[in-house]
Structure 1
Amino acid sequence: MTASTEFPLFVSAGDILTDLVRTDDSRWLSVPGGAGWNVARAVARLGLRTASVGALGRDYFSDAIWNASVAADLDMRFMQRVDRSPLLAVVHETHPPTYFFMGDNSADLAFDPSLLPAGWMDQVRWAHFGCISLVRQPLGDTLARLAADLRARGVKISFDPNYRNLMEHGYEPILRRMAALADLIKVSDEDLRLLFKTSDEASALAQLRELNRAANVLVTRGPETATLYVGDSTFESRPPRVEVVDTVGAGDASIGGLLFSLMSAPQRKWPEHLAFALAAGAAACRHSGAHSPTLDEVVALLEG
């Protein structure tokens, strides 16, 4: 556990939930998850002081997330417990993924930044936001205000829209708001098509970049070439080839890898940061579930 006198260098304030996955007609598997939580675990596993910021209930599902967070060495001072029901993502088909969310008045919506430890903002260097937490009110407005407060203090902001079906309507205002605050935006090619409702990736990317010309943008395309846009410069790289077991959480591992690289090795050039991010995503694909790769796993792929 992180020493009480130290605060995280990185926080992820995205969704924390339970994936309830149907394995056959009458059996379900519950798995701690959420894009924001996955990113926090990815950065922590690579070796930086990290917190997943949010609120949980006091039920079995929330206990499982809490225990997994402790095992991941996350700073538990940033995870609040409240007397509300859990947020569930009910995945009733896996090929292709078909899902809905349960949690109209669930614990995540009760997150209160004023209850976080005093002084933590003075040490944090990057903060990550994204996915469905931003479209669940009043949580979305709470997180957007937190992102603005952090940015005003000089903290760098990472944003991953990570498209889900809750964003089908009414997402544009928060997309614009968060993109304007971001130093780094990560999207997949699928995110771009769904967010901007077009099959023309170039057009969608142009619309995204127009929201904040100063933000760096990472576009991942599964096993195909990824592109990192930094100002007027463009860097491309292909992920290492691996035997894919599961792609769940690969995008979260990628952005976690990129953020870890930026924080731990600022002397690296942008192509090196990109290569590290893609190796982290590829390493995650070698395991079932949202695997958080170790630094050794990532380095092995970079050197392979």
Structure 2
Amino acid sequence: MLDRLDLLVIGECVADIVRLPGAADRIHPGGSPANVAYGLARLGHDATLLTQLGPDTNGQLIRDHLAGAGVDVRTDGSTAPTPSAAVTLDGAGHAAYTFEITWTLGPVSPDRPPAHVHTGSIAAVTEPGAATVRSAVESLRAVATVSYDPNVRPELMGDHEAAVRKAEFCVALSDVVKASDEDLEWLYPGQAPEKVAERWLATGPAVVLVTRGGDGAFAVLPDGQVTVGALPTEVVDTVGAGDAFMSGTLHALAAHGLLGAAGREGLRSLDRATVTDVLRHAAAAAAVTVSRAGANPPDSAELAAALGRM
């Protein structure tokens, strides 16, 4: 059983500049892939993040934040400014984003083959770096399982048809796919998320997970659907909730011995009880994160405590 995962995350870091009415700006380390790597390290896994960070104050802030959790940060040596996003929160804690992003990731080889590779978000669609990401995932898939989260940011997706093609390419390469209902609505307007998930499942993944905010989440398997409710909690803000859900998912799959090349066969024959357990871990991780400011996922003790309340 894999209870400590050697995981490679490929994707962007972003300095989230959080703006609340009547308050001074707060800067939080962010970026969906970076948040996933941070969440996995907090849960005890060996997480390496392949990314870009500028030689600026925000870059150092993010590097220190990730290293503090134990993430091994690898960059391609780019001197471009660290990407940033202004995050405006409404009275209900929901986030709206304005981005200043450059993504030009060049080839960087990991020191050792990972057991699992995760990618998604801006990194998988923004050129020219997205081509590097897709090539890396293709080359590593023979030795590692793969997960993908489109984490759609409409302002940065570019041409809609091209974005859909890139997302579908990544879906087909992946063993585990997670998306929000909002992601799917942007990619396929007016189509039921259950139907989109079923169609994605038919292209290659072993499981497709769909989050629905306060309405919980569901997983689509070849033999049907598994649903869990959200853990009731007071929402402070929703920044990083989906990323915590993703790291919780991978943590639970690792505990079941279902990640890494040796776990791929087991992923292809998931039973409903295992998927329910995975969804519970993911939902609990997300609930802890939304209960406090910023992308602040749980450690193992906090996750266990949240699970005890489900």
1:1-304 aligned at under 5 Å gives the runs 9-23=6-20, 28-76=25-73, 78-91=74-87, 93-95=88-90, 97-103=95-101, 106=102, 108-114=103-109, 116-117=110-111, 120-121=112-113, 124-153=114-143, 155-165=144-154, 166-167=156-157, 169=159, 170-198=162-190, 200-210=192-202, 212-266=203-257, 269-304=274-309
Partners of 1:277 and 1:86 in 2: CA distance:
29
Check conservation: 1:244, 1:286, Cα contact below 8 A. yes
Which blocks of at least 5 consecutive residues in structure 2 are unaligned?
A: 259-272
Letter paired with 2:43? L
With over 3 angstroms needed to count, the CA separation of the structure-2 counterparts of 1:44 and 1:26, relative to structure 1, is: closer
Partners of 2:197 and 2:205 in 1: CA distance:
14
With over 3 angstroms needed to count, the CA separation of the structure-2 counterparts of 1:75 and 1:236, relative to structure 1, is: same
- With structure 2 as the length reference, what TM-score do the two structures score? 0.84
Tell me the percent identity.
30
Partners of 1:99 and 1:223 in 2: CA distance:
20
Partners of 1:54 and 1:40 in 2: CA distance:
11
Partners of 1:236 and 1:17 in 2: CA distance:
32
Of 178-187 and 234-243, more deviation after overlay is shown by 234-243
Check conservation: 2:253, 2:278, Cα contact below 8 A. yes
- With structure 1 as the length reference, what TM-score do the two structures score? 0.86
Partners of 2:95 and 2:230 in 1: CA distance:
23
Q: 1:43: how far off?
A: 0.7
Check conservation: 2:174, 2:204, Cα contact below 8 A. no
Q: 1:130: how far off?
A: 0.5
Cα RMSD, aligned residues only: 2.3
Letter paired with 2:41? A
Q: 1:208: how far off?
A: 3.4
With over 3 angstroms needed to count, the CA separation of the structure-2 counterparts of 1:285 and 1:178, relative to structure 1, is: same
After superposition, what is the alpha-carbon deviation per residue over 1:11-33, rounded to whole angstroms, capped at 9, x for unaligned?
21122111233446895432211
Partners of 1:286 and 1:50 in 2: CA distance:
24
- Structure with more relative contact order (C-alpha pairs < 8 Å, separation 6 or more): 2
Which blocks of at least 5 consecutive residues in structure 1 are unaligned?
A: 1-6
Check conservation: 1:55, 1:111, Cα contact below 8 A. no
Check conservation: 1:11, 1:50, Cα contact below 8 A. yes
- Secondary structure at the aligned position of 2:140 is classed as helix
